[in-house]
Structure formats: C-alpha cells, structure tokens
Structure 1
Amino acid sequence: MSKNRMAADDALADAARTAGLDITGAELIRDGSNVMFRLQDGVVARIGRPGTQDVADREVKVSRWLTQCGLTVVQAVADVPQPIVVGDRPVTWWRLLPEHRPATPAELGAVLRSFHALPAPTYLDLPEHDPFAHLDQRITDTPGLDDDERAWLQDHLVQLDGRYRAIAAEPGGAIHGDAWQGNVAVPDSSPPILLDLEMVSIGRREWDLIQIAVDYTDFARINSKEYDSFVTAYGGSDVTEIPDYRTFADIQELRWVCFALSKVEDRPDAAEQVRHRIACIRGDVPRPWSWDAI
C-alpha cells in the first residue's frame, strides 16, 4: 500500500468520526492525487491533496451554486461538515452517482452551453484561470528527461506564454477548466451530470472547448460528424476557426505532456509515453497522433 493511500485511510477515519459517518466496508474507488472511497448509504468520500483545503471548500460551494442555478452537477452531501481537514488534507462528502456512461460530444456541448450562460457568482471569489499553472515546476523538477528534452520544453513553454499574452483580452466568465466527455456523466434516465469541479474558475470560455476540438483536429479521436454535433449543441461557435486556435491547442497539448511527466515517478510506463508526446509536439511525429492514457 502506498504512503498516499495509508495517509488517506487515516484521514478518512478521522474525518468520518467528526462527521458522524460510518466507514465500515468502505470501498476504494480511486487511488491518485485525490483518493476516493464509496461508503454506505450512497456517500462518496474524497480525500484531497495536502494543502488543498481552499480548493475543496470551493468545490462544495460551486456544486451548491450550480444546483441552485438548475444545472445538474455532482452533489455535495448536505448536513455534514464540508470540508473536514485532517493532517493538511481536506475530506469532502458527495452523493454516489447512478450508473452512467461518458457524454457524447453533443451532450458535452449542450452542458457547456448551459454552464457558460450562467453569470459568475461574485460571492464565490472564483480564481482566475491560469493555463500555465505548475507547468514550469513539472518540466524543471521531474526526473527522466534528458537535457535536450528539458531545454526544449522550457523554451516551448516560454514561447507559448508569449503567444498567449499577446492575444487580445476578451471578457471572460465562469469556466469548468477541464471539460471533456469523461467529466459529464450520463445516466440512463436522468440529465447529464457535470463532474470534477476542482478547476472551475474565471477565464476564457475557449478553454472549455479546446480539449474536444484538439481530439478532432490533432488526434482523430472523434470524427467530423461528432465534432459538428458538439459545435451545434454548443450554439454554433467553432473554436477551431478562431485566429488563435493553434495557440490554445498547443498549450493544451503541453499540459497533457506535463501531466504525463507528473506520473513518471509512480508509473513505469509513463517515461516512454512522455518521450513519445514530446516527439509529437516537437513535430517529429505527423498528425493525427495517438497517445496512451496514463
């Protein structure tokens, strides 16, 4: 058992005592940077990363705000303390999702259209979205890169930052921050449910359209009919047609490279995938690319 898992087990036990919840028979759902357990009575416990109390608190508040606005989202449990902090790790409590599947492109587009139509709540003090958050640290600190790869990634990051800052500022709004089909759960007999509220922030709405657009233009993970259905459901705005699309797409792909970097120490297969992803964004591999999930 990993140290992360052992610490999460201890945090779960302490937090459950404070909340008055029974963790008998708790079943592990996910063992990652956030650890999740299925409890009795349809409750899910989420143990966050150390030092993320503010993020956890905001997730709970965002869930309640979106629910009040009529958007179907993952539900924070009412009438229990939220979050409970144990050893610098926040523990939050959520309602178990019904059986579901990932959203289709059209379903994702429709959910984002409804989400983006909402005025940002000033009382939540949502942070400003930063597409470059933590990327420099991952490139600098992660082992397994040779000097040439590290230097190229650092230079690429600087160039992308310059390209992004040169884009004319436009009015922003509340964005999800990690909008892809897997973050919308679609049960058989109820509306799609928006998940993973950790990155909800104030930013350019283009960011919520980029992941699926890149899936279409650079990876061929979806076909033209599916992408057109996404654009139509969103309201007709096609992010691939804006002048700065390539800048947004290149930043998103660098983020995916850096996500793979973050897994190198824990996953033996991650280093090979990092090298492949770097070769792709350097132009050594022609599109459409194929990247393995990590």
Structure 2
Amino acid sequence: MTGRSRHETYAALLAACATAGLDATGAEPIRLAENAIWRLPGGLVARIAKPGQQDHSARELRLARWLTTTGIPAVRPYPGLHSPVLADDRPVTFWEELPPHGTGTVLDVATLLKQLHALPLPNFPIGHLDPFIRISDRIDAATTLSAPDRTWLHSLLTELRAAWTELPPGLPECVVHGDAWTGNIARPLNGADAILLDLERCSQGPPEWDLVSTAIKLTTTGTITPTEYDEFCTTYGTDVLQWPGYNTMRRTRELRMTTYAAQHAATHPEWRQEAQHRVDCLRGRAGQGPWRWRGIA
C-alpha cells in the first residue's frame, strides 16, 4: 500500500474510533492491502474495507456472530459493536485480537471446511457466491499491464462467466468461505484449534469453490506435494480434481489471483514482475504448469 493510502486508512481508523468511543492511541498496522487491518490497544483489531462495502461488512459481522454459535472456531466480532462504523465511506469493523499464532496448514483448511460445509444455512440471508466480483475493476486498474493483456483478461472473464453458467452438477450448495486458503487460517501457538479468518466472501455457494483453492496449489502453483494434497482430500472426503467442472473453477481462481496481483502492481513496483509473470502463465507464454507464483502480501 502506498504512503498516501496508509494515511487515508489511518484517518478512517481515527474517525471510526472516535464515533465508536474507542481509543486509537498507539494503533499499529497489521496488514495493509485491499482491506487495512490495524491493531488497537486492549485486544482489539479494526478492519477497514474499501469504500462502498458497508453491506458486505455488515454481513461479515452477522456471519461471524452466527459462527460463534456453531462451535466452529472463527474470528470473533468485538462485543457491543454489531454494525460497521462508516468513516469516509469506508466501513470499519472491530474484532477481538487473535492469540499469538502462525499460518494454518493445508490440513487445517480441510478440517475447517468439512465443518463449515456441513452446517445448515443460517436463518438470515447471506447472499450467493459471486466468483467474479471486482475482477473487471481490477483489470481496469492494472495499469502496468499492456493494453492487449488487459483486453485478453477481459475476454477471459467473459468466457469464464459463460462457462460458470454451464457447470456440471456437483456437491449440494452450502455455506462456503469463499477464499479458503492457509493464509485465512490462524494456528494458535498454544495448541488450540485453528481459527477461520476473513469472512468477507462467506456466502451460499458450491463447496467445490472452497476446495479449488487448495487443489490449485498442486496443479497451478506447485506449492504443495501430491502427498499433501492426498491428505487434504482424505481429511475432507472429496477430491475436487475428479469433478468435471474443476477446470472452469481453476481458471476462475487463477484469474482472481492474477488480477489481484496486477491491480496492486500499479502502486507496488515490487509486484510488477510477479503480476506480469502470472499473466504470461495464463496466456501460455511460460510453458506448462504448475508454475511457481510468488506470494503477494
């Protein structure tokens, strides 16, 4: 995130804390990306979303409160603050700080997804999964890419939207996380159960979408071994690679990952090479996958 963007999110933090009656003295950034995460005194964390995301943030809070009743370990909203606080059109939500932790494992992902997908739908609307949300805007914002590359990405988006409507039957729809990867799982250092994070994309949808996030670590990025993937499938109970709709979902997830990097490369010069590499992979310029894609913080 640029210094200007950091300043803007800090200003939003101060305004939201003033509205909520909270002390922002000594606030420290944890992660500054599409959403800005700040640590506050007293075991409190603030999450500052992009402008115009109030409905999504309100749904995230409601889902998190619901998950606390199901027994699934998940990030917990800060007590007493049940709605996002608006600051410069940015919804700010407040959460209990996690205990000291590391990143979750592939098996943690499988375990938590198996529990999540087994839940009945809650008795309030949670929306339906939109796998293409923000992709078009991300392509338009990817100013480090050439015009032909951006045009090609838009064409791929159109192709995948059409393919998604023709997906073959799969597992029954359920509550899905929407962005289920190890970076959204916290593994407490005290040995407690892994904790599910970042419920922004949690909604009703096909469970295969959650499973694809791990499968592409084998088929696209090559960051897990076949043995690790087999253990993931055994723990969850399904191998999404055997589902005929896998390639459509794989390509959609690859497009999301590529456009995320490409959008932020416009303000992060250090990401420019990785963003172009991902485009080159999708366009067949980097040989056959799996490829090595560097993580984007």
TM-score class, shorter: over 0.9
8 Å CA contact 2:142–2:262 kept in 1: the answer is yes
> For the structure 1 residues 226 and 279, does the alpha-carbon distance in structure 2 shift closer, same or farther, using more than 3 Å as the test?
same
> For the structure 1 residues 197 and 142, does the alpha-carbon distance in structure 2 shift closer, same or farther, using more than 3 Å as the test?
same
User: Aligned partners of 1:141 and 1:203: how far apart in 2?
Assistant: 28
What TM-score do the two structures reach when normalised by structure 2?
Answer: 0.92
Task: Indicate the residue corresponding to 2:65 in structure 1.
Answer: 64
Task: Indicate the residue corresponding to 1:161 in structure 2.
Answer: 161
Task: Indicate the residue corresponding to 2:54 in structure 1.
Answer: 53
Task: Indicate the residue corresponding to 1:219 in structure 2.
Answer: 221
Please report how far the alpha carbon of residue 133 of structure 1 lies from its aligned counterpart in structure 2 after TM superposition.
Answer: 1.8
Secondary structure of the residue aligned to 2:102 is: strand
Task: Indicate the residue corresponding to 2:204 in structure 1.
Answer: 202
> For the structure 1 residues 141 and 219, does the alpha-carbon distance in structure 2 shift closer, same or farther, using more than 3 Å as the test?
closer
1:55-107 Cα distance to aligned partner (Å, 9 max, x none): 11111111110011111100101123531112211121111111112222112
8 Å CA contact 1:173–1:204 kept in 2: the answer is yes
8 Å CA contact 1:120–1:174 kept in 2: the answer is yes
Please report how far the alpha carbon of residue 141 of structure 1 lies from its aligned counterpart in structure 2 after TM superposition.
Answer: 4.6
> For the structure 1 residues 97 and 284, does the alpha-carbon distance in structure 2 shift closer, same or farther, using more than 3 Å as the test?
same
8 Å CA contact 2:168–2:245 kept in 1: the answer is no
Please report how far the alpha carbon of residue 159 of structure 1 lies from its aligned counterpart in structure 2 after TM superposition.
Answer: 2.1
User: Aligned partners of 1:189 and 1:146: how far apart in 2?
Assistant: 48
Aligned ranges 1:9-48 → 2 under 5 Å: 9-48=10-49
Task: Indicate the residue corresponding to 2:114 in structure 1.
Answer: 113
| Structure 1 runs (4+) greater than 6 angstroms displaced | none
1:104-149 Cα distance to aligned partner (Å, 9 max, x none): 21121010000000111131x1121111222223324532332332
> For the structure 1 residues 154 and 81, does the alpha-carbon distance in structure 2 shift closer, same or farther, using more than 3 Å as the test?
closer
8 Å CA contact 2:117–2:207 kept in 1: the answer is yes
User: Aligned partners of 2:186 and 2:9: how far apart in 1?
Assistant: 25
> Which shows bigger deviation, 215-224 or 161-170?
161-170
8 Å CA contact 2:179–2:210 kept in 1: the answer is yes
8 Å CA contact 1:19–1:81 kept in 2: the answer is no
> For the structure 1 residues 16 and 141, does the alpha-carbon distance in structure 2 shift closer, same or farther, using more than 3 Å as the test?
closer
User: Aligned partners of 1:5 and 1:269: how far apart in 2?
Assistant: 17
Gaps of 5+ in 2: none
8 Å CA contact 1:107–1:233 kept in 2: the answer is no
8 Å CA contact 1:82–1:93 kept in 2: the answer is no
Gaps of 5+ in 1: none
Secondary structure of the residue aligned to 1:215 is: helix
User: Aligned partners of 1:86 and 1:115: how far apart in 2?
Assistant: 32
8 Å CA contact 1:176–1:201 kept in 2: the answer is yes
Aligned ranges 1:50-129 → 2 under 5 Å: 50-80=51-81, 82-123=83-124, 125-129=125-129
1:181-229 Cα distance to aligned partner (Å, 9 max, x none): 1111111321110000000011111010001101012222111111111
1:231 equivalent among 230, 233, 257? 233
User: Aligned partners of 2:109 and 2:30: how far apart in 1?
Assistant: 24
Percentage of identical aligned residues: 39
User: Aligned partners of 2:249 and 2:200: how far apart in 1?
Assistant: 21
> For the structure 1 residues 141 and 102, does the alpha-carbon distance in structure 2 shift closer, same or farther, using more than 3 Å as the test?
closer
User: Aligned partners of 1:34 and 1:190: how far apart in 2?
Assistant: 27
8 Å CA contact 2:78–2:94 kept in 1: the answer is yes
Secondary structure of the residue aligned to 1:263 is: helix
> For the structure 1 residues 279 and 51, does the alpha-carbon distance in structure 2 shift closer, same or farther, using more than 3 Å as the test?
same
Task: Indicate the residue corresponding to 2:272 in structure 1.
Answer: 271
Secondary structure of the residue aligned to 2:30 is: strand
> For the structure 1 residues 75 and 141, does the alpha-carbon distance in structure 2 shift closer, same or farther, using more than 3 Å as the test?
closer
